[in-house]
Amino acid sequence: MQPAMNALRTILPIAGWGDERLRSLDISGGTDPILPTPFRVGETSAAALAAVGLAVSDLWALRTGRPQEVAVDARQATASLRSGHYMKMNGASVSTERNAVMGVYPAQNGRWSYLHCNFPNHRAAALSVLGVPEDREAVRRAVAKWDALALEEAIIAANGAGGMVRAMDEWAKHPHAAAIASLPLMEIIKIGDSAPEKLPDGDRPLAGTRVLDLTRVLAGPTCARTLAEHGADVLKITAAHLPNLGYQEYDTGHGKLSAHLDLREPRDVETLRDLVREADVFSQGYRPGTLGNRGFSPEALARLRPGIVVVSLSAFGHVGPWASRRGFDTVVQTVSGITSRQGELFPGSAPGPQFYPVSAIDYLTGYLMAFGAMVALARRTREGGSWLVRISLAQTGRWLVGRGEVPEAQLKDVPSEFTPAELERWTIASETPAGRLHHLGPVLRLSETPPRWSRPSVPLGYHAPVWPARAK
């Protein structure tokens, strides 16, 4: 599986590792194209998950003196990039339908505009700019009268999300693309001094490690789900007033406790501060500076809890003209040329740009965040310090596109789905408060500590905001 190994070689330097790490690794499952897209989603998903496995192995070696053998199946890794697609609750498929007005529309002068409307607040922003009700045909007529770039700016100004469809060469000339190109795929930065800390006692790589998950949608929650997979105690923090898509919690909630805290309330802010004091990892996915305004910047967290690992996700990075913009996997696909290219090679039922058939940027980013968090935890164990792990969806998108495309001649008759036998082999069941959930299990295979989730997915706010006791 040489292409995946080559992709992995672009991740290893983030941890300061060389090719010697690859000796304990096996990647199988064939090469791209695995699904109908020119983008190398099989290679990159296998590489990102292999990086997670090597980081888990490193933590296990810190505990026991023994590394682990790591194996990844690229087809199973690719399926994990749309794991929400494969859920069944009490035998019935869990709907992941997008809102009816969300999508790509023709604008003036042959351009296209994408409106991200899954969340009520973003939908309201787009509809207010367009001056139409929540009706797809009314939206189509309104967008057709707009210049696509002007509409992009207007929706962003209204606190919405979306973008003008660009071609890849057009995005390459954009000032923000240049800003992203100046950054590595991910940064792991020491932000404070503290004494080395040995890993908490336990029989799993992350046993006793406490993770606060203040992320939403897919990428950040996937990071915390991945940490839970290897024994971390994850406490997801959200608030009742924040919009959410309930089905996503079934997909990304495996292994987590979930509590509500309203950071508009001083009492709840103080509760979060108390949780931070006993945490090891603080993962957040708000736009740069948002949590800093409430006293939870990386630097403030390092003062509050010396030795903490802060994982910080944004849509477009911390530099450049778009650093403060809202964004999602689909928005990054739109503005960076991915949907334009996908539509050229795999036209949809309607003309125009198309999304690739997975949520690659989201899940890849989540896996990379988990890898970064574990590398930082290992550094804290060896040398001490507080650490910042920083990544954006746009940086991951650049990495994905930078792996090159599958040659067009190989893109004929690519199956759009995995075989029933494969899906059955990869699926497990959990007993949740809502019923029996069938879903994809962990992808990684480890020789000593097979990944598993010790808690089922639960509704948001199901638990009290307290840490479980550590093993004695």
Indicate the CATH number for domain 103-180+329-345: 3.30.1540
Taken in order 248, 444, 47, 55, is the CA torsion positive or negative?
Answer: positive
pLDDT, average across residues 99-115: 95
pLDDT of 112 higher than 60: yes
pLDDT class for 321, splitting at 50, 70, 90? very high
- Residue 285 has which token pair? 């996915």
pLDDT of 131 higher than 60: yes
pLDDT of 184 higher than 60: yes
Compute CA distances 214 → 132, 133, 278, 285, 293, whole Å: 34, 33, 15, 7, 15
Q: What are the boundaries of each domain within the chain?
A: 103-180+329-345
pLDDT, average across residues 89-101: 89
Compute CA distances 107 → 123, 129, 305, 438, whole Å: 18, 14, 50, 41
**Is residue 331 within 8 Å of 162, Cβ to Cβ?**
yes
pLDDT tens per residue across span 367-389: 999 999 999 999 999 999 999 99
What is the reported pLDDT for 339? 98
Q: Between 379 and 472, where is the model more confident?
A: 379
In angstroms, the CA 208 to CA 360 distance is 30
In angstroms, the CA 208 to CA 212 distance is 13
pLDDT tens per residue across span 263-317: 999 999 999 999 999 999 999 987 777 776 788 999 999 999 999 999 999 999 9
Q: At 341, give phi and psi (nearest 5°).
A: -70, -40
pLDDT of 185 higher than 90: yes
**How many Cα atoms sit within 13 Å of 281 on the Cβ side?**
35
The pTM (predicted TM-score) of the whole model is 0.97
pLDDT of 110 higher than 90: yes
Compute CA distances 287 → 325, 370, 472, whole Å: 7, 19, 38
pLDDT of 250 higher than 90: yes
What is the reported pLDDT for 217? 85
What is the reported pLDDT for 1? 61
pLDDT of 472 higher than 60: no
What is the reported pLDDT for 436? 98
pLDDT tens per residue across span 420-431: 999 999 999 999
